[in-house]
Amino acid sequence: MAPNVDGQDDRGMHPAAPGYVATADSIRRTAESSAARVAAAAQRVVATMRRAMIRRATEADVPHILRCIRELARYEKLEHECDLDAARVREDLFGSRPIAWALIAEQQGQPVGFALCFRSYSTFKTRACMHLEDLFVFPEHRGKGLGLALLRACAKEAVQQGCPRLDWNVLDWNQPAIDFYRAQGALVLPDWRTCRLTGEALQRVAAAT
């Protein structure tokens, strides 16, 4: 017997009441209700993605890109490493010899995220590859498919440019991001570590004879 509009079944019993025994009909209706809620949630995400737009960044997007970088650094607890310069970003992305490019995620006409990529090279493949340096969506706009849309747009660009690989890094404590990337089929390589020379160490090695 199925619950009525008051949440009780045809016997006048609420599903949470002691002694309540679910019938096949009530189980079916409960499952249908749950499926309907999931479908409605999926439709809301699809509707959000339809209202969203992923486009190439322009020079006018430099302030938004810098804001995204700051917010990403804050989220990753790496603000102390930031040395942001609008003029450098403008030259590196939109100058006469750009070395990177960016995508902007818009929601209802407002920029709410970005991705930034540059070309790398694989000696094993002897081909140019693509590196995704940053992908970020403002927290209040997450869960709407925008991050996935940005990742897909980067992958499409890599394929169009003939790159056999799209690489990026993820912090080992950022499990939600790791799970998200794995769900898209990405490999999280356990045997590799990022090595970096910076600051005085970089200058010292460069000056050594």
Query: Are 61 and 46 within one domain?
Result: no
Q: Which domain holds residue 132?
A: 57-190
Query: Are 95 and 117 within one domain?
Result: yes
Query: Are 117 and 41 within one domain?
Result: no
Q: What is the pLDDT of residue 9?
A: 46
**Mind listing the pLDDT tens digit for each residue in 178-207?**
999 999 999 999 999 999 999 999 999 999
The answer to the question of residue 106 being in a domain is yes
The fraction of the chain above a pLDDT of 70, given in percent, is 78
Phi, psi of 118 (to 5 degrees): -150, 165
Number of domains in the chain: 2
**What does the mean pLDDT of the chain come to?**
87
Query: Are 84 and 163 within one domain?
Result: yes
**Mind listing the pLDDT tens digit for each residue in 15-29?**
555 554 556 676 667
Q: What is the pLDDT of residue 3?
A: 44
CATH for 75? 3.40.630.30
Q: Which of 20, 75, 121, 181 is catalytic?
A: 181
Query: Are 45 and 89 within one domain?
Result: no
- What secondary structure does DSSP assign to 5-59, as a single string? TTS--TTS--TTSTT----HHHHHHHHHHHHHHHHHHHHHHHHHHHHEEEEE--G
Residue 50 vs residue 108, higher pLDDT? 108
Strands 110-122 and 166-168: unpaired
The answer to the question of residue 182 being in a domain is yes
Lowest mean pLDDT across 31-45, 67-81, 96-110, 182-196: 31-45
In 169-180, which positions are buried (b, 16+ CB within 10 angstroms) versus exposed (e)? eeeeeeeeeeee
Query: Are 96 and 146 within one domain?
Result: yes
Query: Are 93 and 10 within one domain?
Result: no
Q: What is the pLDDT of residue 95?
A: 98
Query: Are 62 and 3 within one domain?
Result: no
75 is catalytic: no
